[in-house]
């Protein structure tokens, strides 16, 4: 497959070279534009995306099979994100300048130090298949890099080529309207794996951002680290998003909990990196009753069309592998034809879960595994064995410092966002959001790829010592 794609690719046709050289040239100018100029560029992109009107929405629906209402929401989120980053840049509140005054009376004299955050340089962005607008050509990565003064080269995702062209056109139009150098933004289409690697390894590229599979994220991260001058490569590679349901919470509202969890599990045919794929409950009467309710909801879920045929094939294969594991049983299953995926609910006992690390791996789609624990004390043991996560959820009536304090501490070591009595899907874009987490959820747990803190991925501190007289 990679070979076939390479034959149709662009790695050798000069597209990458032209884009990278133009980005490096543009950096000299764009990085020195004022915050207000960058902010009005971001707002111009948002205006341009909105002006594409229904043609854009119809194109996205046609290419992705996502429902029209979801696509309209995603467009609104994308434009809101661009404008929010524009505001953050104008206000300057995302980065603070630090000044230590000189002290010439001290021995030895202390010089004045002023440190500022400066853009890294051209950024390579890899569009995601599951957010054709909000995590693609003009998505969060592009918006964050442009906001801080970095030119962007986007490698489009092959699942939505026409959408990418339309949005890319809106960005090019904003570049012209704002009088910016053309190399500030480039779109690479008709890609292949080799083109992605070549882009990340181009000497003019100074950082990369990616949302997608662990395999793709790690291949590109390795390429970035194998350069003579390694660069930061921020890959968000999804996670299984464990949910711990204490018996008191189940007792207080099993019906609404089952409904909420089912919605979160099957939303968007389960194609979210925050989909709750692992649920821990105690194997007692109320736990089993809850499970029956959840299984009934899963059985009644209509199948949904997945984003691409390979994603659907991977879902079927992964669900099949899970089914074949001794000690795992199917509680509810919906069969489906073609590119449609049916929801599946699996269950296992705590010993099987602890002895099979594969059960903590993501099955991308509408599938979850319930682990039946002997007591709530098992929750912490299970949490200890989790790989890094984007989110971890705890449902309990207890106070945060109460019975689950140790579990929460353990989950802090594992996840970037802890959800208390809520559901992990639905990632707000704001100043407090953390969408990231320890490896393998991402390649750098110190940063978020959503919200205004995501701008910090594409800057580095520079200190000025002393003053010109």
The DSSP call for residue 452 is: G
SS (H, E, C) 401-450: CCCCHHHHHHHHCCEEEEEECCCCCCCCCCCCCCCCCCCCCECCCCCCCC
Cβ(130)–Cβ(138) below 8 Å: no
Least Cα distance to 250 among 424, 426, 421 occurs for 421
Cβ(390)–Cβ(238) below 8 Å: yes
Least Cα distance to 208 among 198, 217, 200 occurs for 200
Q: Shortest gap between Cβ of 126 and ligand NAP (angstroms)?
A: 5
Q: Shortest gap between Cβ of 174 and ligand NAP (angstroms)?
A: 24
Question: Could you say which of 79, 192, 273, 312 is catalytic?
Answer: 273
Question: Could you say which of 74, 236, 361, 376 is catalytic?
Answer: 236
Name which of 48 and 438 has its Cβ closer to ligand NAP. Answer: 438
Q: Shortest gap between Cβ of 341 and ligand NAP (angstroms)?
A: 11
Name which of 31 and 445 has its Cβ closer to ligand NAP. Answer: 445
**Nearest-angstrom CA–CA distance, 301 and 333:** 9
Name which of 191 and 304 has its Cβ closer to ligand NAP. Answer: 191
Is 59 in the active site?
no
Least Cα distance to 184 among 25, 324, 359 occurs for 25
Name which of 265 and 311 has its Cβ closer to ligand NAP. Answer: 311
Q: Shortest gap between Cβ of 462 and ligand NAP (angstroms)?
A: 32
Q: Shortest gap between Cβ of 128 and ligand NAP (angstroms)?
A: 5
Name which of 127 and 287 has its Cβ closer to ligand NAP. Answer: 127
Q: Shortest gap between Cβ of 272 and ligand NAP (angstroms)?
A: 7
**Nearest-angstrom CA–CA distance, 237 and 11:** 24
Name which of 174 and 311 has its Cβ closer to ligand NAP. Answer: 311
> How many degrees, rounded to 5, is the angle at CA 92 between CA 88 and CA 98?
145
**Nearest-angstrom CA–CA distance, 350 and 381:** 9
Residue 13, CA distances (Å) to 191, 200, 209 in order: 11, 16, 23
Tokens of 3: 């070979």
Q: Shortest gap between Cβ of 339 and ligand NAP (angstroms)?
A: 13
Name which of 151 and 191 has its Cβ closer to ligand NAP. Answer: 191
Name which of 89 and 311 has its Cβ closer to ligand NAP. Answer: 311
Cβ(334)–Cβ(344) below 8 Å: yes
Q: Shortest gap between Cβ of 35 and ligand NAP (angstroms)?
A: 31
Which residues bind to ligand NAP, rule: CB under 6 A? Answer: 5, 126, 128-130, 155, 157-158, 191-193, 196-197, 211-213, 215-216, 219-220, 236-238, 273, 311, 314, 364
C-alpha torsion sign, points 375, 378, 383, 385: negative
Residues 6+ away with beta carbon under 8 Å from 289: 254
> How many degrees, rounded to 5, is the angle at CA 456 between CA 202 and CA 272?
85
* 3-state DSSP percent of the chain in helix, strand and coil, to 5: 45, 20, 35
Is 273 in the active site?
yes
**Nearest-angstrom CA–CA distance, 63 and 146:** 27
Helix (H), strand (E) at residue 97: none
Cβ(149)–Cβ(30) below 8 Å: yes
Which residues belong to the active site?
236, 273
């Amino acid at each position: 497959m990679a070979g076939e794609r390479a034959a149709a690719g662009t790695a050798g046709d000069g597209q990458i070279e032209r884009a990278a050289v133009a980005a490096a040239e543009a950096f000299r100018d764009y990085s020195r534009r004022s915050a207000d100029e960058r902010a009005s560029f971001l707002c111009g992109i948002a205006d341009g995306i909105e002006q594409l009107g229904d043609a854009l929405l119809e194109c996205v629906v046609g290419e992705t099979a996502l429902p029209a209402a979801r696509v309209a929401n995603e467009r609104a989120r994308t434009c809101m994100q661009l404008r929010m980053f524009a505001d953050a840049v104008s206000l300057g509140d995302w980065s603070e300048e630090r000044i230590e005054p000189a002290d010439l009376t001290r021995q030895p004299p202390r010089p004045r130090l002023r440190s500022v955050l400066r853009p890294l340089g051209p950024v390579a962005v890899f569009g995601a298949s599951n957010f054709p607008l909000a995590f693609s050509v003009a998505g969060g990565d592009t918006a964050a890099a442009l906001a801080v003064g970095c030119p962007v080269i986007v490698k489009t995702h092959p699942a939505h080529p026409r959408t990418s062209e339309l949005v890319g056109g809106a960005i090019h139009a904003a570049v012209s309207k704002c009088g910016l150098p053309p190399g500030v933004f480039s779109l690479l289409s008709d890609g292949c794996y080799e083109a992605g690697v070549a882009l990340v390894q181009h000497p003019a590229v100074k950082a990369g951002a990616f949302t997608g599979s662990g395999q793709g994220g790690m291949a590109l991260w390795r390429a970035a680290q194998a350069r003579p001058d390694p660069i930061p490569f921020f890959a968000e590679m999804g996670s299984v998003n464990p949910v711990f349901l204490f018996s008191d919470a189940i007792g207080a509202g099993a019906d609404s909990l089952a409904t909420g969890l089912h919605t979160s599990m099957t939303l968007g045919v389960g194609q979210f990196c925050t989909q709750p794929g692992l649920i821990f409950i105690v194997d007692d009467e109320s736990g089993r009753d809850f499970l029956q309710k959840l299984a009934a909801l899963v059985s009644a879920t209509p199948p949904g069309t997945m984003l691409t045929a390979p994603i659907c094939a991977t879902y079927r294969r992964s669900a099949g592998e899970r089914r074949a594991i001794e000690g795992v049983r199917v509680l509810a299953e919906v069969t489906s034809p073609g590119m449609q995926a049916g929801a599946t609910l699996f269950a296992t006992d705590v010993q099987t879960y602890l002895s099979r690390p594969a059960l903590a791996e993501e099955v991308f789609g509408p599938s979850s595994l319930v682990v039946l624990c002997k007591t709530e004390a098992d929750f912490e043991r299970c949490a200890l064995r989790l790989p890094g996560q984007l989110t971890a959820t705890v449902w309990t009536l207890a106070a945060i410092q109460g019975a689950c304090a140790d579990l929460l501490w353990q989950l802090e070591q594992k996840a970037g966002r802890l959800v208390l009595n809520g559901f992990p899907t639905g990632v707000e874009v704001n100043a407090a959001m953390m969408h990231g987490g320890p490896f393998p959820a991402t390649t750098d747990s110190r940063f978020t790829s959503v919200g205004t803190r995501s701008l910090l991925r594409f800057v580095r501190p520079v200190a000025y010592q002393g003053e010109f007289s």
